[in-house]
Amino acid sequence: MVRTCPACGQQNRVPAARIAEQPHCGKCQSRLEPPDEPLDVDAAEFDEITTSAKLPVLVDFWAEWCGPCKLATSEVKRVARDLTGRALVLKVNTERHPELANRFQVRGIPNFLVMKDGKKIFQQAGLVDHNEMQRWLETA
């Protein structure tokens, strides 16, 4: 995946398996901190991250038109911030990536999926708070 260095703006390719290891920028050698916000991903990025990341991954399946999805946004962001370096949080727009929604039989949104080592650990549809999402990740 591509991470932008906050110090110099350089685009750095970071393997998903190393995303939480704080790799260094190829240009200025500054540390690239683990993501502290949800990552909006496509199918290729989804597959790369969920199969190679050494951390549990929370996936938020959502759509622009979905009211409950909008309510979940702040909760999902809080999980990403609170579990920085201990979990990754992905967002999948079901309108742009229906193949991912179909793969995981997403019939209602928001829909949350927890993955570890490329395997589905847990999945639930419906709005929940950040505490519940954190519990899912901590048990994964």
The 10s digit of each residue's pLDDT in 68-80 is 999 999 999 999 9
Contact 93, 110 (CB under 8 A): no
Decide if 69 is catalytic. Answer: yes
Q: Which tens digits make up the pLDDT trace of 94-126?
A: 999 999 999 999 999 999 999 999 999 999 999
For the entire predicted model, the pTM comes to 0.92
- Superfamily for 35-139? Glutaredoxin (3.40.30.10)
- Go through 106-126 and write b for each residue having 16 or more CB atoms within 10 A of its CB, e for each that does not: beebbbbbbbbeeeeebbeee
Sequence ranges of the domains in the chain: 1-33, 35-139
Give percent of the chain with pLDDT exceeding 90: 88
User: What is the CATH number that goes with domain 1-33?
Assistant: 2.30.30.380
**Which one of 5, 25, 28, 66 is the catalytic residue?**
66
**66 tagged catalytic:** yes
Q: Which of 8, 25, 28, 69 is catalytic?
A: 69
pLDDT digit string (tens) for 45-68? 999 999 999 999 999 999 999 999
pLDDT category at 133 given cuts 50, 70, 90 is very high
